Structure 1
């Protein structure tokens, strides 16, 4: 690994399996089915490791639907905030379930889809466990899902299932159970007539010491109460702590504070660091140590930095740094801002072999902008 050119993502298969074993445990306790949320992680070179543990994939756009169908198999769930007619024609032959975001979308596409897949409707429970307003599906004026006051039991003539998504990295099982109880009480007359229900993603059941059994038993009781097949749509929970973004220090500049400039950028390679203002964690850093550095990107955006942290020794040009937990919402959001080199993607297998999943070059950059 010392000879690999930075920047690159390194996905660790053993860490991935450790998370998947927890997913297996949750499935066994709860009876729920789990489908991988491709909006979070679509690196299909790892799918052969994931497939034995999960039941399929769920998508937020037509290309994800196709990728899940072609490369993962199992159940393929299609959801979109808004389907065009062309989108529907693309996903219809590939999908086991098609979930609509609104009553108007359901009405527009029902006749075309009713014989092709099991249809569902996203519901806004008007209650959520999401740490940031930007990621809160139940925020004020949310466009995501149908509110109860415009629902009518007649919708049950057209759909077999509902989808609720109201969590974001929720580590609190009791908070989730409160939302689950709210859904059970508020939507009972609907749930008792449905055949399946998706509770979305954002439940961080692979977090250290998370009470998986408590979650599983709550899901099992809910499913039995309403005679439903429950689905979860984990993304981050499956791939958390499985990959590092490895970068090299290419310069050190000083302006009251020292900034180590690395050969990567948040805006291009780790966008959520910038969007959510959540600093990266560096494997080589020691909080409170002697030598303080801003870890700055090599993009032209003035505020583009990964974090500010401390090290036991001064950083050296050419030194590699590992930005921890860089799998979720990273590779799916890569872009060519500033024409920066795109990180390669590698997979460290259990036996120590390094598998090349993808490497990028100038032609890839050029071909995104014209032909």
Structure 2
């Protein structure tokens, strides 16, 4: 049936999603931590019915995400932004359970709008982190993300309920995470002891193959008991990793020293993080050491827009389909209309075998995204 679907499209696999969610459930059971889905990573609410039984709510980075979490997921709705406007705060104060400010100045300016409606929090920057690239490092030099330890006014902890740390990006090393926990406890322990809750952010890749979830659970439970707080994690990639393929079709093959297979998709439009972080995609049909080498190039006009280089046992053919694996996190939330390319449809293959259409797009969506009214 998949061959009848028009490419490009995303295919989410329910069974793979549930496998990740079962690991999340195990972590919750052994640690007492609560998990809120990071909508900045994955907001495809058509599959929230699968995720909701396992997680405790959502966390957001902007007002529209707060609304989406409140309307389509339920549970706890955490609101955070690097920079709120007053309108933003008023828009979400009545529908969020926790509102986390990025700075002491924003907390002071807007707390009166939130008090009595939502639990108040502040983001702290511990100055330590685990991130593979500086671009994604919350503790990078001159970071604007959270309040540094030497800038904190101690009295602020008398009038907030919790704090948020976010200092990980794709951290697959449980020992490294435990080290960060120890550092936080040492730096901020006296303040944490006064609070009700602490969010440790996202970027903890506990669903990665071989990750020691039990060791993570023990560390989280110990930290929670030591400081008397309810702990939260904000998983995004950990929930949806390896669940989704971006399916594309080879539309041309060109030669210029290297052979390039051009597909009906583009990293700049449909898989932006591949381009931003220069992290090559993986192709299901590829074979390490295969006899036929290709650049998998996009159909955009950006000269350096390519998915990866890959080898195949047999030559690729025009009309052949390829599956670009692990294409859920930070993909659908970043889709754009660059070059006026066809936007991928979104499907979910349910455990029953049914393929459910979640969304599709056409020219009218492209046109409407640019203007709705003409000026005469």
TM-score (norm 1): 1.00
Q: Distance in 1 between matches of 2:54 and 2:100?
A: 23
Secondary structure in structure 1 of the residue aligned to 2:326: coil
Q: CA deviation at 1:89?
A: 1.1
| Contact 2:11 2:346 survives alignment (8 Å) | yes
In structure 2, the partner of 1:33 is 34
In structure 1, the partner of 2:60 is 59
Moved over 6 A (4+): none
Q: Distance in 1 between matches of 2:139 and 2:151?
A: 15
In structure 2, the partner of 1:250 is 251
Q: CA deviation at 1:115?
A: 1.5
Aligned length: 371
| Contact 1:259 1:296 survives alignment (8 Å) | yes
Pairing 1:262-273 to 2, within 5 Å after superposition: 262-273=263-274
TM-score (norm 2): 0.98
In structure 2, the partner of 1:75 is 76
Q: Distance in 2 between matches of 1:39 and 1:30?
A: 25
Pairing 1:1-371 to 2, within 5 Å after superposition: 1-371=2-372
Q: Distance in 2 between matches of 1:37 and 1:335?
A: 20
Q: CA deviation at 1:157?
A: 2.6
Q: Distance in 1 between matches of 2:207 and 2:255?
A: 40
| Contact 2:158 2:194 survives alignment (8 Å) | no
Secondary structure in structure 2 of the residue aligned to 1:308: strand
Which deviations, in whole Å up to 9, do the C-alpha atoms of 1:183-230 show, x marking residues without a partner? 011101101000000000000000001100000010000000000000
Which deviations, in whole Å up to 9, do the C-alpha atoms of 1:63-119 show, x marking residues without a partner? 000000000000000000000011011111110000000011101101111111001
| Contact 2:10 2:247 survives alignment (8 Å) | yes
| Contact 2:40 2:61 survives alignment (8 Å) | yes
> Which consecutive residues of structure 1, in runs of 5 or more, have no partner in the other structure?
none
| Contact 1:268 1:336 survives alignment (8 Å) | yes
> Which consecutive residues of structure 2, in runs of 5 or more, have no partner in the other structure?
none
| Contact 2:202 2:234 survives alignment (8 Å) | yes
Secondary structure in structure 2 of the residue aligned to 1:284: coil
| Contact 1:66 1:91 survives alignment (8 Å) | yes
Which deviations, in whole Å up to 9, do the C-alpha atoms of 1:150-187 show, x marking residues without a partner? 11221023210010000001000000000000001110
| Contact 1:125 1:164 survives alignment (8 Å) | yes
Q: Distance in 1 between matches of 2:223 and 2:138?
A: 22
Secondary structure in structure 2 of the residue aligned to 1:368: helix
Greater alpha carbon shift after TM alignment, 182-191 vs 65-74: 182-191
Secondary structure in structure 2 of the residue aligned to 1:26: helix
Secondary structure in structure 1 of the residue aligned to 2:99: strand
Q: Distance in 2 between matches of 1:74 and 1:32?
A: 15
Q: Distance in 2 between matches of 1:131 and 1:161?
A: 28
Q: Distance in 2 between matches of 1:6 and 1:143?
A: 40
Secondary structure in structure 1 of the residue aligned to 2:317: coil
| Contact 1:110 1:158 survives alignment (8 Å) | no
RMSD between superposed Cα atoms in Å = 0.5
Which deviations, in whole Å up to 9, do the C-alpha atoms of 1:253-302 show, x marking residues without a partner? 00011100000000000000000000000000002111000000000000
| Contact 1:9 1:243 survives alignment (8 Å) | yes
Q: Distance in 2 between matches of 1:39 and 1:206?
A: 18
